[in-house]
Amino acid sequence: MGNSQSLPPASQAGSPLQLCLNNVFASSSGSVAYPQSVFYQLADVKVYNQHIPITPAAVTRPTTSDEISKIVQCAAASGVKVQPRSGGHSYANYGIGGEDNAVVVDMVNFQQFSMDTSNWQATIGSGTLLADVTSRLHDAGGRAIAHGTCPQVGIGGHATIGGLGPVSRQWGAALDHILEVEIVLANGTVTRASATQNPDILFAVKGAAASFGIVTEFVFLTHPEPTNVVRYSYTLELGKHADMAPTFATWQSIVSDPALDRKLATEVVLFELGMIISGTYFGTKEEYEALNFEQRLSKNATVSVSVLDDWLGAVGNWAETEALKLVGGIVRLCEAKSLILTLTLYAVWTFYSKSLTFRPDTLIPAGGIQDFFNYLDTADKDTLYLDATAYAHRDALFYLQTYAVGLTGLSDKTIDFVTGMSEKVTDSMPGTQFGAYAGYVDFKLALN
């Protein structure tokens, strides 16, 4: 991969870091790779967001907590940062360090799973992807936890920054299910944390784990799988975005109602050709229809309502919807599936995203909504993808996620367009303090 001498000292062949890591894996079934490897970027680094090229000092694949402890100590001795990677699904490439010259700890070998049927608590390795979390919980007794919709996301990062999903309005975030963890701390100590053992560490893990250590396994509280699931979709197409502002305002009014049935999960997706309001109701079709949800919105829409008779089918439906969103909703589902599979192997896309949090006391005013939708019609843009999702997570009512996705790159014009979408909203609410969901990293903020 070019001249080794052009790399930082810790990344160079024969450096103290490499000698230390080689010793860790001398008699291990795990592995370590360095920038000198021919297929390092493709086979080991696997950059998720090609807009941010990164060269880690090493990519390690340990098999035990003790090996992780030694990796952390090797990195500390060389003054190098450490970053665990559960799934690597990060718009700012935090799963591979977020910057050059970090040591990546790939948790792919931490796939342990067991279910204690006396209390229905599940032990899950932090390298497990959400697709496998769902299927293993199902097979172990028809159990479930709250989590997101992307099957290739790893539970290690997902559950330690929040972990929001369609069931979150009923069960909370994924991190609310964490009862206990095994963690390797920044000094290399391997310990466990629960409500009775190191509770301060458990508190830190549930939201800020990356600042304190590497979680190797979780013990989760689980729930019985929902038995009744209704999937709905409400589509407005081929119209001016400005004309859709009243529908969005009505949607915001509905989701801000404190009495709204918590069985209802809902989201808005805006794309070049229109707007989709869709989601899941965790109950019977009769209960869903009694909400009169669709009738409160615009009448000029295509409505689809289906009943899903099994939990795995419902979660699979979310994954298919996520695949459609990734490609802007304009290709056939079979093509979207192949593209999302590609992302699990190596990244071929570039991303830019921003996130805003809205509480009941910081709803978007009518003028701000109209300005925002007018902007979608008039702004110079290359890629459009917007997602606003309603979850009752702490004091957050819903999140506004704005995306740009490109196959070969992102222009400054596209990035400015994404920034402009958020600014149209924030400018209409001067003095308001906005939060953001940690799962949607704005790398421009991270790099400043």
Instruction: Write down the pLDDT at residue 447.
Output: 45
Instruction: Write down the pLDDT at residue 200.
Output: 93
Do 389 and 264 meet the contact criterion of CB atoms below 8 Å apart? no
Cα(70)–Cα(190) distance, integer angstroms: 10
CB atoms within 10 A of CB 78: 21
**What percent helix, strand, coil does the chain show, rounded to 5?**
35, 25, 40
Cα(205)–Cα(180) distance, integer angstroms: 10
DSSP 138-192: HHTTSEE----S-TTSBHHHHHHH----TTHHHH--GGGGEEEEEEEETTS-EEE
pLDDT tens digits in sequence order for the chain, 448 residues long: 445 557 788 788 889 999 999 999 999 999 999 999 999 988 898 887 777 788 999 999 999 999 999 999 999 999 999 999 998 877 666 666 667 899 999 999 999 999 999 999 999 999 999 999 999 999 999 999 999 888 888 999 999 988 888 888 889 889 999 999 999 999 999 999 999 999 999 999 998 888 889 999 999 999 999 988 998 888 887 578 888 888 889 988 988 888 889 999 888 877 777 788 888 899 999 999 999 888 888 677 788 888 887 777 777 766 655 444 444 332 222 222 233 333 323 334 566 677 777 888 888 899 998 998 888 888 776 544 445 433 234 567 677 777 666 656 667 777 787 788 788 888 888 888 777 766 666 666 644 4
Cα(265)–Cα(262) distance, integer angstroms: 7
Instruction: Write down the pLDDT at residue 328.
Output: 38
Cα(164)–Cα(182) distance, integer angstroms: 22
Instruction: Tell me which residue of 408, 339, 400, 410 sits closest to 152, measured CA to CA.
Output: 339
The answer to whether 4-106 and 229-447 have equal CATH topology is no
- The fold adopted by the segment(s) 229-447 is Vanillyl-alcohol Oxidase; Chain A, domain 3 (3.40.462)
What is the 8-class DSSP label of residue 41?
Answer: I
Instruction: Tell me which residue of 407, 409, 419, 345 sits closest to 380, measured CA to CA.
Output: 419
Instruction: Write down the pLDDT at residue 387.
Output: 53
Measured over all CA atoms, what is the biggest interatomic distance in the chain, rounded to whole angstroms?
A: 69
DSSP 75-120: HHHTT--EEEESS---TT-GGGTSSTTPEEEE-TT---EEEETTTT
Do 21 and 71 meet the contact criterion of CB atoms below 8 Å apart? yes
- Domain range 113-224, CATH architecture: 2-Layer Sandwich (3.30)
Instruction: Write down the pLDDT at residue 336.
Output: 29
Cα(386)–Cα(380) distance, integer angstroms: 16
Instruction: Write down the pLDDT at residue 5.
Output: 56
Domain residue spans of the chain:
4-106, 113-224, 229-447
Domain 4-106 in CATH 3.30.43.10? The answer is yes
Instruction: Write down the pLDDT at residue 352.
Output: 66
